[in-house]
């Protein structure tokens, strides 16, 4: 019924002001809170320097040290390298298991593992380059030292790499932090090869492969043992220094994917879920052979230039060219990843293949430097790309499964496990081939 004209009108009810959706507020606050400062990114990147310093020195010079200075037969050197890589690979799931079960402390859930491994890693790396007074059991000594070092380095690297997921919820900021990390790690690789190489440069003289037939003694300086010990001590100090800066400049964000107790899925249940995640399987399989090829090239470059070509005087220059090229090209590759996509950028890895073949066919100094520059470009993208794609894979998995905390360590540890295992097989088989060619300096 219509109201009469004289009846008083009811006061108009004003609509309440529109409130922004809670999810919009959460996304906005996460975006603002997820911004990482320049200092945080730099300190996070510095934390990755020590392992890369040590890995670079061992990749380029450990094989040469064991063959020329420690005077270990090539077959035993193959066992040392293979055993160390297998030890590091086996430690990855073990590290993932224990880290997955650990509780959050005042400094976080991942940071205590990084800090706890640091003093032991410092000592283990020095012992790896120490020449024991006995000769008959040197192969066993270096196998044990290398296995210990690789296992400890794994317990350091897995929580450090997984820390990327706990820095910020913003994917773009995580990619930026990963780019800082890779740039710093490339700088660490450069520093490891350069510093170690400069210190031990007087320990080796030129020695051609044809000289084996003449049964000449090895051309090794009497101060070789002392020089390698000095280099080991200098590089070992990067562990406490860089870890201290990481702890001071980076704050671990609480894991928002589950309860604060840190107890989510069991390790085996989480591992079963990760290995059935198709994007993760594609990522792992794609980089298995790439990682193996990179490790073999690093290990054999110095040996090839020293003994199989007339490039002994250019060894340091070639190694530094590779590493400088990799360091300088990492920011460029990060831009390419953002501009053209990560899958498209993967084609940059293949560029090094024809140039590596060219060096074997034409082992001259100009060709060697060109090959070194191009190899640095490919190495940079091969290292940056998987670590930039892995957080995306973990994000997609968590959105689909809602699994709880701790899954990021399982993803990272299992990925490193597979890549190390492939590298171990490649290095072991390739080094064993030296024995079949009667490689010897005695």
Give 117-176 as a DSSP string. HHHHHHHHHHHHT---S-STTHHHHHHHHHHHHHHHHHHHHHHHHHGGGGT-S-HHHHHH
Q: Is the pLDDT of residue 146 over 90?
A: yes
Q: For residue 74, what are the CA distances in angstroms to 22, 40, 96, 198, 294? A: 65, 45, 34, 25, 21
Helix or strand or coil: residue 220?
strand
User: Predicted confidence band at 54 (pLDDT cuts at 50, 70, 90)?
Assistant: very high
What confidence score (pLDDT) does residue 47 get? Answer: 92
**Lowest-confidence segment of 61-65, 135-139, 413-417 by average pLDDT:** 413-417
What confidence score (pLDDT) does residue 321 get? Answer: 87
Residue with tokens 């061992």: 58
Helix or strand or coil: residue 200?
coil
What confidence score (pLDDT) does residue 17 get? Answer: 46
What confidence score (pLDDT) does residue 440 get? Answer: 55
Mean pLDDT of 388-397: 82
d(CA 287, CA 284): 6
Say which residue, 5 or 203, is predicted with more confidence.
203
Mean pLDDT of 256-277: 62
Contact 164, 25 (CB under 8 A): no
Q: Which two tokens stand for residue 253?
A: 């964000």
CA 223 to chain centre: 32
Predicted confidence (pLDDT) per residue in 94-135, tens digit: 887 788 777 777 777 889 999 999 999 999 999 999 988 888
High-pLDDT (> 90) share of the chain, %: 15
Of the ranges 2-6, 139-143, 175-179, 216-220, the best mean pLDDT one: 139-143
What confidence score (pLDDT) does residue 33 get? Answer: 55
Mean pLDDT of 336-354: 82
d(CA 234, CA 440): 30
d(CA 63, CA 69): 10
Q: Is the pLDDT of residue 84 over 70?
A: yes
d(CA 162, CA 159): 5
CA 424 to chain centre: 15
What average pLDDT does the chain have? 77
Say which residue, 415 or 148, is predicted with more confidence.
148
pTM of the complete model: 0.70
Q: Is the pLDDT of residue 392 over 60?
A: yes
What confidence score (pLDDT) does residue 172 get? Answer: 80
Mean pLDDT of 174-185: 85
d(CA 308, CA 315): 12
Q: Is the pLDDT of residue 232 over 80?
A: yes
User: Predicted confidence band at 22 (pLDDT cuts at 50, 70, 90)?
Assistant: very low
Say which residue, 342 or 211, is predicted with more confidence.
342
User: Predicted confidence band at 46 (pLDDT cuts at 50, 70, 90)?
Assistant: very high
User: CB under 8 Å to 315, separation ≥6 — which residues?
Assistant: 197, 302, 305, 306
User: Predicted confidence band at 332 (pLDDT cuts at 50, 70, 90)?
Assistant: confident
Contact 377, 348 (CB under 8 A): yes
Say which residue, 311 or 43, is predicted with more confidence.
43
Say which residue, 188 or 292, is predicted with more confidence.
188
């Amino acid at each position: 019924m219509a109201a009469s004209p004289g009846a008083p009108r009811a006061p108009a009810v004003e609509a309440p002001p529109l409130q922004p959706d809670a999810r919009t507020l959460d996304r906005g606050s996460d975006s603002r809170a997820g911004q990482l400062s320049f200092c945080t990114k730099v300190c996070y990147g510095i934390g990755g320097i020590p392992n890369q310093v040590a890995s670079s020195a061992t990749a380029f010079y450990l094989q040469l040290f064991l063959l020329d200075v420690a005077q270990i037969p090539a077959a035993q050197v193959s066992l040392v390298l293979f055993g160390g890589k297998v030890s590091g690979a086996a430690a990855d799931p073990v590290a993932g298991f224990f880290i997955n079960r650990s509780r959050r402390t005042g400094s976080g859930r991942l940071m205590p593992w990084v800090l706890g491994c640091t003093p032991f890693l410092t000592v283990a790396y020095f012992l790896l380059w120490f020449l024991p007074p006995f000769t008959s059991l040197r192969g066993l000594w270096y196998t044990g030292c290398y296995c210990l070092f690789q296992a400890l380095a794994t317990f350091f690297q897995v929580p450090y790499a997984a820390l990327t997921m706990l820095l910020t919820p913003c994917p773009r900021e995580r990619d930026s932090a990963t780019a800082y990390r890779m740039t710093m790690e490339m700088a660490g690789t450069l520093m490891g090869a350069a510093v170690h190489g400069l210190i031990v440069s007087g320990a080796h003289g030129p020695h051609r492969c044809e000289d084996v037939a003449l049964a000449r003694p090895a051309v090794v300086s009497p101060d070789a043992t002392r020089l390698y010990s000095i280099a080991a001590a200098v590089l070992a100090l990067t562990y406490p220094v860089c870890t201290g800066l990481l702890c001071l400049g980076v704050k671990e964000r609480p894991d928002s994917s589950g309860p604060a107790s840190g107890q989510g899925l069991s390790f085996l249940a989480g591992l079963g879920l990760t290995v059935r995640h198709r994007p993760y399987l594609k990522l792992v399989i794609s980089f298995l052979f790439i990682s193996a090829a990179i490790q073999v090239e690093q290990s054999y470059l110095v040996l090839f230039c020293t003994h199989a070509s007339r490039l002994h005087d250019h060894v340091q220059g070639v190694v530094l060219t590779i590493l400088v090229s990799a360091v300088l090209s990492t920011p460029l590759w990060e831009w390419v990843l953002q501009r053209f996509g990560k899958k498209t950028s993967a084609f940059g890895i293949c560029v090094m293949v024809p140039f590596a073949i060219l060096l074997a066919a034409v082992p001259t100094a100009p060709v060697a430097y060109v090959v070194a520059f191009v190899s640095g470009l490919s190495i940079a993208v091969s290292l940056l790309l998987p670590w930039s794609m892995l957080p995306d894979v973990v994000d997609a998995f968590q959105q689909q499964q809602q699994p709880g905390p701790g899954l990021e360590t399982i993803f990272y540890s299992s990925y490193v496990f597979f890549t190390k295992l492939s590298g171990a097989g490649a290095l072991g088989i390739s080094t064993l081939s030296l024995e079949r060619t009667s490689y010897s300096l005695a």
